[in-house]
């Protein structure tokens, strides 16, 4: 094997990439803005058990991320600090990937290679820097499967080991809900396929579930009492079974993941040298089951997105690391992708994808970003051993588009939030749904009223002479008088109507 960087430097390099990503691009709507707003509302209203969004219980996700954001806010509220919470779990997942590879007895070189592959893979770089729940879930999945491997190696039944497995599951449940079982059940159900000896599964699972339920119950039970009937129904039924049977959003066909797999595998999986057939020893069987099992289950479920597979990326990284070739060849393949990306930036800037895309990226910015991309492509084509540069180059180029060009301003809620802030407590929005884009950005302290009919607009205008109505002029209904200001945000015009201007 060719020499690879020390694990310490891999962790430091990945951490710097995560920090730079947070600093280079704005808080992105609608997920990041929503999660920071929920944490902000938790702080404002002391809603420590039941998260709130726009004044009502938020039942979509457990509170762990929002607790941690408030923890880093103890010295003072900071957008940057809050946005570094989820990436910190990416760094922990990276470390755990190397350690679980070591635990499988694959050798330190393989564990280090897995960390290098994970840290320079475009998918983990992209999703690892986002404020969301997938990297928290990924860490819990790696810890759970790591513990399952330890259980399978032990000759005796140890209650403590199964309890630790349950604790890892509890971390997953508190991170993103019961979806952690989709990721962990395949390795657990397939124990007889990969474990050298099948442990006493039934009593072990009972211990694990007891530990998981006990830990989660410390939050869930009082939250169910305080949250009310609607919150109980949503948490216990709608958010899990309902999404499984029929997606509320993100409904995709069974074959949805197939055309997206190349994205998950870029750049290492694109190199022919990493595709070898290895003997199906115990680690190999476990890795394939942990990778393909959740992929199959999610394919059969209605609602799914690409980032749902982030917890599978550590297993993919170890599978590829086991196949690390003596010499990396065919650097022209990842180099070609970078060239295509550079050309795509230029085409977007010149309006090939439409006027809305062209507004996000001016041609001077596109060329400024494309030139280094082309330079990195040339280096990789000449020195395939430097393929590790492909993923960081692609992600950094994307982030630079935000910080150098108009995209950062257009996608940020900051301008609208600043206009809304003086009217806090007198704001209404023309919509049936508000994703909390502006509450954290504007440090707003009062929920928006939601207006859905012309009668709602008229009533609000008459009842609040200091009111401000936020809406999108292209969508009906809208106030009968002209807006005071219009701001372009998320590729749409957003208008502000002052009720004092109502004739």
Name beta bridge partners: 266. none
Does residue 247 lie within any of the structural domains? no
What residues make up the domain containing 374?
331-409
Q: Both 350 and 284 in a single domain?
A: no
| pLDDT score at 86 | 97
The Cα 195–Cα 275 span in angstroms is 24
- Whether 221 and 175 share a structural domain: yes
Are residues 395 and 468 both part of a single domain? Answer: no
Q: What is the mean pLDDT of residues 365-387?
A: 93
For residues 144 and 251, the model is more confident at 144
- Is residue 249 assigned to a domain? no
Q: Is the pLDDT of residue 242 over 80?
A: no
Instruction: Note whether 170 and 286 are same-domain residues.
Output: yes
Asked if residue 179 is part of any domain, the answer here is yes
Q: Are residues 315 and 273 in the same domain?
A: yes
Does residue 460 lie in a domain region? yes
Write down the mean pLDDT value for the chain. Answer: 92
* Beta-carbon count within 10 A of 12 CB: 13
Asked whether 437 and 30 are in contact (CB, 8 A), the reply is yes
Pick 155 or 492 by higher pLDDT: 492
- The mean pLDDT of 95-110, rounded to a whole number, is 96
Which of 304, 323, 342 is where one domain is finished?
Answer: 323
Residue 400: exposure state from Cβ atoms within 10 A (0-12, 13-18, ≥19): buried
pLDDT of amino acid 427: 97
Residues 62 and 181 in one domain: yes
Whether residue 233 is contained in a domain is answered as no
Q: Kindly tell me the burial class for residue 244, based on how many C-beta atoms sit within 10 Å of its own C-beta (0-12, 13-18, 19 or more).
A: middle
pLDDT at 356 over 70: yes
CA distance linking residue 197 with residue 154, whole number of Å: 9
Q: How confident is the model at residue 326 (pLDDT cuts 50, 70, 90)?
A: confident
Same domain, 402 and 435: no
Q: Pick from 323, 349, 374: which residue ends a domain?
A: 323
Q: What is the per-residue pLDDT for 49?
A: 95
Q: Is the model's pLDDT at 6 over the cut of 60?
A: yes
Q: Give the helix/strand (H/E) hosting 468.
A: strand 468-471
Residues 150 and 54 in one domain: yes
Q: pLDDT: is 72 or 242 the higher one?
A: 72
Q: How many whole angstroms separate alpha carbon 85 and alpha carbon 177?
A: 18
Residue 70 in contact with residue 98, Cβ under 8 Å?
no
Q: Which residues pair with 428 in a beta bridge?
A: 449, 469
Q: What is the pLDDT of residue 185?
A: 96
In a domain, 248, yes or no: no
Per residue in 459-483, pLDDT (tens digit) is 999 999 999 999 998 887 899 999 9
- Checking if the pLDDT of 240 tops 70, the result is no
Domain assignment present for 232: no
**Cα-flanking dihedrals φ and ψ of residue 501, to 5°?**
-85, -5
Query: From the CB of residue 351, how many other CB atoms can be counted at a distance below 10 Å?
Result: 14
Q: What is the DSSP string of 395-407?
A: HHHHHHHHHHSTH
Asked if residue 440 and residue 394 are part of one domain, the reply reads no
Are 112 and 204 in the same domain? yes
Indicate whether 241 belongs to any domain: no
Q: Among candidates 64, 146, 163, which has minimal Cα distance to 99? A: 146
Domain boundary among 323, 339, 366: 323
Give pLDDT tens digits for 302-311.
Answer: 878 999 999 9
- How many distinct structural domains can be found in the chain? 3
- Residue 132 and residue 260 in one domain: yes
Residues 384 and 431 in one domain: no
416-453 per-position pLDDT tens digit: 999 999 999 999 999 999 999 999 999 999 999 999 99
Cα(130)–Cα(30) distance, integer angstroms: 12
The pLDDT, as a whole number, for residue 248 is 54
């Amino acid at each position: 094997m060719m020499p690879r960087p020390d694990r310490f430097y891999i962790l430091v390099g990945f951490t710097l990439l995560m920090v730079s990503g947070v600093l280079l691009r704005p808080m992105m709507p609608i997920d990041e803005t929503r999660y920071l707003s929920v944490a902000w509302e938790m702080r404002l209203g002391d809603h420590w058990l039941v998260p709130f969004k726009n004044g009502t219980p938020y039942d979509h996700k457990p509170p762990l991320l929002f607790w941690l954001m408030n923890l880093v806010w103890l010295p003072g509220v900071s957008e940057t600090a809050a946005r570094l919470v989820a990436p910190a779990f990416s760094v922990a997942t990276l470390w755990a990937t190397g350690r679980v590879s070591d635990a499988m007895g694959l050798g330190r070189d393989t564990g280090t290679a897995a960390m290098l592959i994970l840290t320079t893979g475009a998918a983990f770089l992209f999703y690892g820097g986002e404020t969301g729940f997938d990297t928290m879930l990924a860490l819990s999945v790696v810890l759970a499967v790591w513990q399952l491997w330890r259980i399978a190696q032990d000759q005796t039944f140890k209650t403590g080991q199964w309890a630790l497995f349950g604790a890892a599951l509890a971390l997953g449940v508190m991170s993103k809900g019961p979806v952690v079982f989709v990721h962990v059940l395949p390795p657990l159900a397939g124990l007889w396929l990969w474990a050298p000896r099948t442990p006493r599964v039934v009593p072990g699972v009972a211990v694990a579930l007891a530990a998981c339920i006990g830990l989660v119950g410390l939050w869930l039970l009082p939250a169910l009492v305080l949250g009310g009937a609607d919150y109980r129904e949503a948490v216990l039924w709608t958010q899990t079974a309902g999404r499984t049977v029929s997606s509320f959003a993100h409904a995709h066909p069974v074959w949805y993941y197939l055309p997206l797999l190349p994205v998950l595998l870029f750049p290492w999986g694109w190199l022919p040298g990493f595709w070898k057939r290895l003997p199906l020893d115990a680690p190999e069987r476990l890795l394939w089951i942990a990778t393909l099992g959740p992929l199959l289950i999610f394919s059969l479920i209605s609602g799914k997105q690409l980032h749902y597979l982030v917890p599978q990326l550590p297993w993919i990284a170890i599978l590829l690391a086991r196949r690390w070739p003596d010499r990396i060849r065919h650097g022209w393949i990842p180099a070609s992708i970078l060239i295509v990306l550079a050309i795509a930036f230029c085409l977007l800037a010149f309006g090939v994808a439409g006027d809305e895309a062209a507004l996000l990226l001016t041609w001077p910015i596109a060329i400024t970003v494309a030139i280094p991309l082309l330079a990195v492509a040339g280096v990789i084509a000449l020195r395939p051993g430097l393929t590790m540069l492909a993923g960081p180059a692609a992600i950094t180029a994307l982030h630079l588009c935000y910080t150098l060009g108009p995209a950062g301003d257009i996608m940020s809620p900051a301008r609208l939030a600043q206009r809304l802030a003086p009217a806090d407590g007198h704001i209404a929005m023309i919509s049936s749904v508000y994703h909390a884009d502006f509450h954290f950005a504007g440090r707003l302290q009062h929920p928006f009223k939601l207006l859905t009919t012309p009668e709602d607009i008229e009533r609000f205008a008459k009842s609040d002479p200091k009111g401000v109505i936020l809406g999108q002029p292209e969508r009906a209904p809208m106030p009968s008088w002209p807006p005071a200001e219009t701001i372009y945000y998320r590729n749409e015009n957003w208008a502000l109507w002052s009720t004092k201007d109502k004739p």
